[in-house]
Structure 1
Amino acid sequence: MIVYGDARSGNCYKIALLANHLDIALEWREIDVLSGQTRQGWFRRINPYGKLPVVELNTGEHLAESNAILVHLAQDSAWWPAQRLAQARVLQWLFWEQYSHEPYIATSRFWLSISGEPDRYRVQLADRRPGALAALDCLETHLATHHWLVGDTPTIADIALYAYTHVADEAGFDLTPCPAIRRWLERVRSIPGHLPMRTPGPPWTPPCTDSH
């Protein structure tokens, strides 16, 4: 499976982490999100939305949106529960992650630690802070009484939420007051096959660059 992704991105990291747990071989094509590659014609042809990550499946078809990719890969594995209500609860966390967690913590991390222009975003960072703290409080409350997000074993809900929560410090959020989250992060890291977020390699260049 081919992955077009930026290794610094938690949304892209989700795919690498689950694939490692499932022993799925990846060809990683590094795309620098700051370079404008996702706005070029060749990229828009594989994902009209112009967003990372995108995977190219063995069939040659492309699939975008990180949590949709997680659901696709996790089918018939231990990371996707068999019971229908549990499946819905996993989806509930995936939807919440993209609506109530990622827009605050991931975006703040991008502005603060990746953009190279943190001072430019001081107002936006302050605006996003209450939403991020609310998301962390929601997670802390749930994990104070649950070992995993859904059920008694880890699911792709844990992978989806781990991706940006474990780098919350890079978004300016101290997890010291969140003992349940910190214990959960350690449980996720201790699962055999865990893969840390890596440093990006050189950007991949398509054989025929087309910027139109």
Structure 2
Amino acid sequence: MLTIYGDSISGNCLKVKWAADHLGIGYEWIETDVLRDESRSPAFLAINPAGQVPTVVLPDGRALAQSNAIILYLAEGSALIPGSPYDRAKMLEWLFWEQYSHEPYIAVARFQVRYLGKSFSDLDPRLIERGQLALQRLDQAVSASDFLVGSQLTLADIALVAYTRVAGEGGFDLALYPAIQAWIARVEGVLGIAD
């Protein structure tokens, strides 16, 4: 059976859980609290020397890290990865954008506000600006289509909904992005997740 080491407060970990659940892949979830440095223990570092969650251990004992690499592995051959080369490349484009232009701002703001107790006004203005630009880009994309790539849920939606749905916890007002709110509801509905 697959083993997932993850922290339930992490969107990166939850996207792995949601992809596995959606695909009907059985797994054992091992809660790994990053706030308590559990991903820095010698036992965990033996599995993933980078000391990061999520990390999965495959049934054959091999470990795999990085959330988007994991969900790509899990979804291989499924409808979560488009069949057309162009659509598959568009999905990957969103996955790369999520880790470079979305997660570093939306997730970091959320962590600083919710878990470190900072106020939104005390955040680095550049962090806020980049987070708002990411939300504007996403809102524009989901204004034109129900999902990010094609007409059905793909890994792009799973990757981006993870932190977008909790952006308000970082001080971003999702009421300013009605298309995002509708998209979040659609993706949560397909995945069967809720707060």
Offset at residue 123 of structure 1 (A): 4.4
Name the structure 2 match of 1:6.
7
- For CA contacts below 8 A with separation 6 or more, give which structure has more relative contact order: 1
8 Å CA contact retained: 1:105, 1:168: yes
Unaligned 5+ segments in structure 1 are: 198-212
Name the structure 1 match of 2:160.
161
Q: Which amino acid aligns with 2:192?
A: H
* Deviation digits for residues 40-82 of structure 1 (CA, Å, limit 9, x no counterpart): 2221221111111000111111000000001001111111111
The number of aligned residues is: 194
Name the structure 2 match of 1:195.
193
Q: Which amino acid aligns with 1:126?
A: P
* Structure 1 or 2: more helix by fraction: 2
> Is 1:130 equivalent to 2:129 in the alignment?
yes
Name the structure 2 match of 1:29.
30
State how far apart, in whole Å, the 1-side matches of 2:86 and 2:66 are. Answer: 23
> Is 1:181 equivalent to 2:180 in the alignment?
yes
* Deviation digits for residues 178-210 of structure 1 (CA, Å, limit 9, x no counterpart): 11111111111221x52346xxxxxxxxxxxxx
Question: TM-score when scaled to structure 2?
Answer: 0.94
Q: Secondary structure at the match of 2:34?
A: coil
- Percentage of identical aligned residues: 44
Offset at residue 152 of structure 1 (A): 1.1
Name the structure 2 match of 1:206.
none
State how far apart, in whole Å, the 2-side matches of 1:80 and 1:142 are. Answer: 18
Larger mean CA deviation between 124-133 and 69-78 belongs to 124-133
> Is 1:40 equivalent to 2:38 in the alignment?
no
Name the structure 1 match of 2:75.
74
State how far apart, in whole Å, the 1-side matches of 2:173 and 2:51 are. Answer: 32
| Runs of 4+ with deviation above 6 angstroms | none
Offset at residue 149 of structure 1 (A): 0.3
Q: Which amino acid aligns with 1:5?
A: G
Q: Secondary structure at the match of 1:52?
A: coil
Q: Which amino acid aligns with 1:189?
A: E
State how far apart, in whole Å, the 2-side matches of 1:122 and 1:54 are. Answer: 34
State how far apart, in whole Å, the 2-side matches of 1:47 and 1:196 are. Answer: 30
8 Å CA contact retained: 1:56, 1:63: yes
> Is 1:111 equivalent to 2:112 in the alignment?
yes
Q: Secondary structure at the match of 1:55?
A: strand
* Deviation digits for residues 17-50 of structure 1 (CA, Å, limit 9, x no counterpart): 1111111112111111111122222212211111
State how far apart, in whole Å, the 2-side matches of 1:171 and 1:125 are. Answer: 12
Name the structure 2 match of 1:207.
none
Name the structure 2 match of 1:83.
84
